A = this chain, B = another copy of it.
Amino acid sequence: MYENLLLYKYVNLNVLKEGDYMAVTLNDIARKAGVSLATVSLALNNSDKVNKDTKLKIKRIADKLNYVPNARARALVKKSTKTIGLVIPEVVNPFFAELAQSIKDYVRSQDFNVILCSTDYQSEEELRYINMFRSGQVDGAIFACVGDMMAQHNELIIKLVEENIPVVYVDRDGVDHDLIPVVKSDVYHAAYQAADYLISLGHKELAFAGQSVERLNGFKSALMKHGLDLKDKNVYYDYLKMEGGYTVGEKIAARKNKPEAVVCLNDEIAIGVIQALIAEKVKVPEEISVIGIDNIKMANFYNPSLTTVNIPVSQMGKKAAEILLKRISGQTLSPKEKFFIFPTELVIRDSSWKA
């Protein structure tokens, strides 16, 4: 097969610099088949306008020459790269990794690819991606970046969709635009569930760790419902990762009056908190219950295994991808698809008191 290719090159292009491989084009096939370029294109695209025998002949030659259509040329004429952009803060974060995986899996099943656009929480990076998207390098994009700094881009993103590049938001809010569908989980309720559960266990003084208005509000509403009040010192409202969680754990361990339980914005933070508490000889859950949100795989393998609130991130990713591809293919969305919210679920494990 490869010999043919080499021979072919020799025949048609004579002088060829060593190492300069020239890809086979429709034209080459046409010449070889003694037929026009248009016929070849039609034939390879299985048009029923072209004669059966010609089609076969052309396909044979294409095979023999190891032809593969030039994606760049095709993208130009089709106005589509069959590629979407996925904007997330970082891949090194089990939650977003799983989101990326599920999105990739779905779009791949529809013959699309995904460009990995991680911002590392830098707003300028997101900006650069938005500009890239405008250039038509993708057919659409999913934005899954949270954070206040990103809010300033909402206008630009609206512009993007008005320029006909569909966008779907995942767990990102701040925009209420008819052309931007939002897929999210009920994190308000998740935080509520977490706090509510801890209170039902008998805990009276709860702490919260992480930076998220929605989750903090859910947390507060549970306290409110049970007539508990929230001391300022029990709110560690800060941008945290696992290391940050560790710091919070250290701070808590150092207090004389410790909270009885802590609700963390996500599982990573929870693990950080627990690790610090254990290191400081504070027993989890005997002395302090710790609960996360997300239910990442590690939550089940941590020691103690982590009580958490499940967020169906894979389902969310798939749904977002479905909606995006629907929009890309020009379909209209049902009202439900424009704002799709997933329920969350409490998962009781070993990092909280047993009732």
- Chain B residues contacting A298 (CB-CB under 8 Å) are 271, 298
- Chain B residues contacting A75 (CB-CB under 8 Å) are 72, 75-76
CA distance A137 to B115 in the complex (A): 12
Q: In whole Å, how far is A205's beta carbon from the nearest beta carbon of chain B?
A: 24
Given A92-B98, A118-B104, check contact A72 B137 (CB 8 Å): yes
Instruction: From A15-23, A190-198, A212-220, give the one contacting chain B.
Output: A15-23
Instruction: From A48-56, A253-261, A272-280, give the one contacting chain B.
Output: A272-280
- Chain B residues contacting A115 (CB-CB under 8 Å) are 83, 113-116
- Chain B residues contacting A154 (CB-CB under 8 Å) are none
A117-136 residues at the B interface, CB under 8 angstroms? 117-118, 120, 131-132, 134-136
Chain B's closest residue to A303 (CB) is B303
A289-311 residues at the B interface, CB under 8 angstroms? 297-298, 301-305
CA distance A94 to B91 in the complex (A): 9
- Chain B residues contacting A98 (CB-CB under 8 Å) are 92
Contact of A164 among B21, B92, B118 (CB under 8 A): B21
Given A19-B164, A97-B92, A159-B2, check contact A297 B242 (CB 8 Å): yes
Interface-central residue, A93, A94, A116, A242, by most chain B CB under 10 Å: A116
A36 at the interface (CB under 8 A from B): no
Contact of A116 among B2, B23, B100, B297 (CB under 8 A): B100
- Place the interface of chain A in its size category: 35 or more
Q: In whole Å, how far is A296's beta carbon from the nearest beta carbon of chain B?
A: 9
A81 at the interface (CB under 8 A from B): yes
Given A76-B76, A92-B97, A135-B68, check contact A116 B118 (CB 8 Å): no
A162 at the interface (CB under 8 A from B): yes
B135–A71 CB distance below 8 A: yes
- Chain B residues contacting A137 (CB-CB under 8 Å) are 71-72, 81, 83, 113
- 6 pairs from A and B in contact (CB 8 Å cutoff): A72-B81, A81-B137, A271-B301, A278-B303, A302-B302, A303-B303
Q: Which 4 A-B pairs have the closest CB atoms?
A: A71-B135, A71-B137, A72-B75, A116-B116
